[in-house]
Amino acid sequence: MQGLWRQRDFLLLWGGQTVSEMGSAVTEVALPLLAVVALRASTFQVGLLTAATTLAFAVIALPAGAMVDGAAKRSIMVVCNLLRLVIIGSVPVAAAFGVLTMAQLYAVAVAAGVCSVFFDVSYQSHVPSLVRPEHLMSANGKLGTTQAFAELGGPSLGGGLVGVFGAAGAMTADAVSYAVSVLSVLGIRTREEPPPPRPADETLRHRIAEGLRFVFGHAILRRVVACTATANLFGGMSSALAMVFLIRVLHVRPALTGLIMAGAAIGGIVGGALAGRLARKVGSARIIWVSMLVFSAPQVVAAAAWQGWGVLLFPLGWGLAYFSGMVYNIAQISYRQSVTPPS
């Protein structure tokens, strides 16, 4: 623990991500609210918008990993955040001129998603170059807890900003957060180890195939991929319906949706804080499936929520989902980083 607090470059990365995650959590609330309240989007349109935010992860994750593999991770992170600043910033600008449409929101969701894929792949690959192997679980725990904290404070901040500036204006905070993240990444002094040279005639398809052979040839990584894909599919379906369920079924006021989502994020903070201890007690590989199969089961109570005090079942169920998801992500990312070669 103490070693990480003395590592300046990790602290810079961590600090930049804290601000960026907080801004992203604001957009997580503001974007669907903008569609539902300002543009009168249907449930189907809101579902498409949510799907658009994750489309890139399903479509280009493999080629993105192969492309990032031999490139400078730090440079990719800077470029991706600059692009996201412009992409997200286009929403409040368009709203100010009265020309915002659902088509633009779809385009913003997809484009920002593409940048997020490249950033996340580079970001996760860059962490092992900043910390020692024995500190990986702790480093990922801190980063995961920060993400959960952003999910706690971000929606509340987002709800407040929506109330004061409107949903489009609230997204300005996310755009500014990417500028802060860029500055923090630029301040990192540690230089990456140059990857071993690859044959000049090696194609992207060959590199993707090489990565797939490694993953599917590894018993645990193969199962992690299947579990993550399944969890992302059904998690995305739930997220697409969450805002519609809160506003149109439970009749929660838009400004209060952030507070409800923030309450759910407490589970993520607890999961991030306990992930390391749980991994040591249960086992670094075993905790991966225990977190999803055992810890996440009670989250079904969210579907039983009703108007009035019954609304509290929603953050309770989602809090349990955040807890299990956080433990799972920290465990599987740390495991992947420890067994996967740098390039």
Average pLDDT in the chain: 82
Sign of CA dihedral 61, 63, 69, 70: negative
Give yes or no for residue 62 having a pLDDT over 90. no
* 197: in domain: no
Helix orientation angle between 136-170 and 102-130, rounded to the nearest 10 degrees: 160
How many Å apart are CA 324 and CA 90, to the nearest integer? 35
* 231: in domain: yes
Which residue in this structure is represented by tokens 């990790």?
10
* The residue type at 87: I
* 185: in domain: yes
What percent of the chain has pLDDT above 90?
13
Highest averaged pLDDT of the listed ranges 93-97, 279-283, 289-293:
93-97
Least confident of 40-54, 205-219, 319-333: 205-219
* 55: in domain: yes
User: Is the Cβ–Cβ distance between 302 and 321 less than 8 Å?
Assistant: yes
Give yes or no for residue 222 having a pLDDT over 90. no
In tens, the pLDDT along 177-204 reads 999 999 999 998 887 776 666 666 667 7
In tens, the pLDDT along 5-26 reads 778 888 898 888 888 888 887 8
Number of domains in the chain: 1
What's the pLDDT score for residue 291? Answer: 87
- Give the CATH number of the domain where residue 51 resides: 1.20.1250.20
In tens, the pLDDT along 130-153 reads 888 777 777 887 887 777 677 666
User: Is the Cβ–Cβ distance between 144 and 271 less than 8 Å?
Assistant: yes
The torsion defined by the Cα of 87, 89, 90 and 96, in degrees rounded to 10, comes to 170
CB atoms within 10 A of CB 272: 25
* 2: in domain: no
User: Is the Cβ–Cβ distance between 25 and 151 less than 8 Å?
Assistant: yes
* 239: in domain: yes
Structural domain boundaries, residue 59? 7-190+204-339
What's the pLDDT score for residue 153? Answer: 67
Least confident of 111-115, 278-282, 283-287: 283-287
* 198: in domain: no
* 1: in domain: no
Burial class (CB in 10 A: 0-12, 13-18, 19+), 131: buried
Q: pTM for the full model?
A: 0.69
Alpha helices, DSSP H only, in the chain?
2-5, 8-33, 43-59, 61-69, 73-96, 102-130, 136-170, 172-186, 204-216, 219-244, 254-282, 286-290, 313-339
